[in-house]
Chain A
Amino acid sequence: MTDIDTTAADAAAASAAATPASAPAAEPEVKNLTLSKAINLGLRQAMLDDPKVLLMGEDIGPLGGVFRVTEHLHAEFGGNRVLDTPLAESGIIGSAIGLAMRGFRPVIEIQFDGFIFPGFDQITTQLAKQTYRHEGNQSYPVVIRVPYGGHIGAVEHHQESPEAYFAHTAGLRVVSPATPHDAYWMIQEAIRSNDPVMFFEPKSRYWQRGEVQLDAGTAVHMHRSRVVRTGTEVTLIGHGAMVATLLQAAEIAAGEGTSVEVIDLRSISPIDYAPIIESVQKTGRVVVAQEAPQNVSVGSEIAATIAERAFYSLEAPVLRVSGFDTPFPPAKLEKQYLPDADRVLEAVDRALAY
């Protein structure tokens, strides 16, 4: 193979890669991992499974990415599988499209949510439409990983939730894991998908630990929403980092005598409505929560669809709890901007009051 990356860092990587990788046998079936490490392991497994999988992005090589999600992968797989790219998002996505045409399965890391927009054109007008334009003659298995959302006290453009833009675009699949276990399996499924997948990683949860079961029988499906807590009076729906907030709200509500069901969407496009409709038919009351601004959002879409499909089950209008329709504020105001358990519970109370 031609060595496409000739930077000095690769010399070290090449010698490291020459060392035989230790056999993956004797792995415990269950690991306690951070969400970040779970994605790292999922990426590694995908790269072991398919030599056409390669990683591309800014600072993802020897550094391991600014969140260290790709840590050690450059050393293990070398610079031809883990490409530190020039600092140009459109260039990364556009060249990934060409690599996909060639038969590769590029997995891109966008450094932060708010940095995706220089690549927005290549994602929405090129990547998303290539399969259609080619009438199915070629597939575009490109995964775009995007650390997203607030709660990390960062500067402008580092805390946004832009997922709705991509859910609005035909040709893309949009998912977001909420737990380390889901993240481990969903990233592998996203890479196996023959379609472009926007993989939104809840960066405020990167360091949260959880059990990850490595047995293939425990694999989750990225497009299947799931009930993570059962309840009878109100249904809470969210994705990504919001799921933990909803569980927290449900716990508080339980203490106050209200039984709340929580659904983790996992997938934003397409949305798996079966568990949602089933839940609504039971509870009759729904609160959809998201960090993103409210106008024309994922929550709005879910509210409209519930109204269409479960109108006679509803005891109250579907309520949305969102970020405000403002730019993401300076970080010292993020607590007031981002929906927390109290804001969710305020909506629960309103729903129950109908």
Chain B
Amino acid sequence: MLADAAPIQLLAPDGTLVRNAANEEFLPRIEALDDARLIEFHRQMVVVRRFDIEAGNLQRQGQLALWIPSLGQEGAQVGAGYAARPQDHIFPAYREHAVARIRGVDPMRIIEMLRGLSHGGWDPKAHGNLHLYTLVIGSQSLHATGYAMGVALDGSSGTGDVEKDEAVLVFFGDGATSQGDVSESFVFASSYQTPQVLFLQNNHWAISVPVERQSRTPLYLRSQGFGIPSWQIDGNDVLASYAVTATALDSARTGQGPRFIEALTYRMGAHTTSDDPTKYRQNDELAYWGARDPISRFETYLRARGAGDDVFADIAREAEDLAADVRTRTLELVDPPTGKIFDNVYSDPHPVIEQQRAWLDAYERSFEGTEG
């Protein structure tokens, strides 16, 4: 599965810009980015990678119940994350830590979730329209499609004003493409011509099962039978991810219907900290993808454009600062009050919930004054 059909690539693994017939429509989007913006891409990739490593360490030290590494997928995520406009709505799976940070979600909210303090809990409206992580594989694809139907019904897309028209961006992985919900989201998106982009990060492994078990054909072809145009991109090329996603979102928001992107990337780490990839995959695969790392190629590109050591030192410092801050704040976390069990099960008052809340409260109080 290492040799897919030539994906759209703007930045080669050696850090040089690629120009060819397949990518020329996307190049203007890159040429419009100034150095500050490009450095921001790099900063986000590096900082989130450092955060991801710190979170993995915290899990190993017993501070988190689980960690879900994003190592190796920063290019796909940062490109797509920055491609979304402020008015867009993003439905992640559960590995999109870079997208979450770009949209303004404090990384601690993800830490808290994986420590067992919440099930997510942030308000998407106050966090860059980034919806909660969804752990059941592929379920969010339908929520995104329904949301996009609502955007269209509201008349908030298709006016032709890309600064105002809204679009929806949903992430899922190669394993999810086998779920019925993802196929049903293709059906609904196509049928209602929703303003949305479905973004597949094909990281080649669904825990221990290789993508070949999910599909015998390249996955970017999947949507075409549903009538949804698609592209396959080099997912470790942050510029390709940015330019193609931005183009797709603008097509969707201006009323041209849904688009599908397959980003070829690689899960360099384990599925989660509960996983052991040495049981099922080979080192030569890691070496292949390690040579295509999204961050090192982008650093080469930025240096060729004139970015100096000071830029990278500054970014490295920010990454260390965030890691230290996350560590400090994680160690300060306290467990939620018991009453959180009963909070927000329903929006309207519910007698059974209140009875059980009162019972547990009285039960706990019955121990007051007794020996621990």
Contacts and interface: CB of A to CB of B under 8 A. Distances in A.
Interface in A23-77: 54
B345 A171 contact: yes
Interface stretch (A130-138, A228-236, A253-261): A130-138
A272 to B, nearest CB: 8
Contact of B119 (A102, A132, A195): A132
A134 B123 contact: yes
Interface in A155-211: 170-171, 173, 193-195
Contacts of A104: 150, 153
Interface residues of B, number: 49
A90 B143 contact: no
Which of A4, A5, A86, A193 has the most chain B CB atoms closer than 10 A to its own CB? A4
B199 to A, nearest CB: 16
Contact of B158 (A2, A86, A125, A138): A2
A127 B181 CA distance: 14
B121 A133 contact: yes
A98 B154 contact: no
Interface residues of A, number: 49
A139 interface: yes
A133 B255 CA distance: 32
A134 B352 CA distance: 20
A132 B350 CA distance: 13
B367 interface: no
B155 interface: yes
Interface string B317-359: 0000000000000000000000000011111101110000000
Given A126-B136, A135-B344, A1 B154 contact: yes
A93 B143 CA distance: 9
A122 B345 contact: no
Contact of B139 (A6, A99, A125, A135): A125
Contact of B187 (A4, A91, A101, A141): A91
A330 interface: no
Interface string A127-157: 0010111111111110000000000000000
10 contacts: A4-B149, A86-B191, A90-B180, A91-B142, A94-B142, A98-B148, A101-B124, A104-B150, A126-B139, A195-B348
Interface of A: 1-2, 4-6, 54, 80, 85-86, 88, 90-91, 93-104, 118, 121-122, 125-126, 129, 131-141, 170-171, 173, 193-195, 269-270
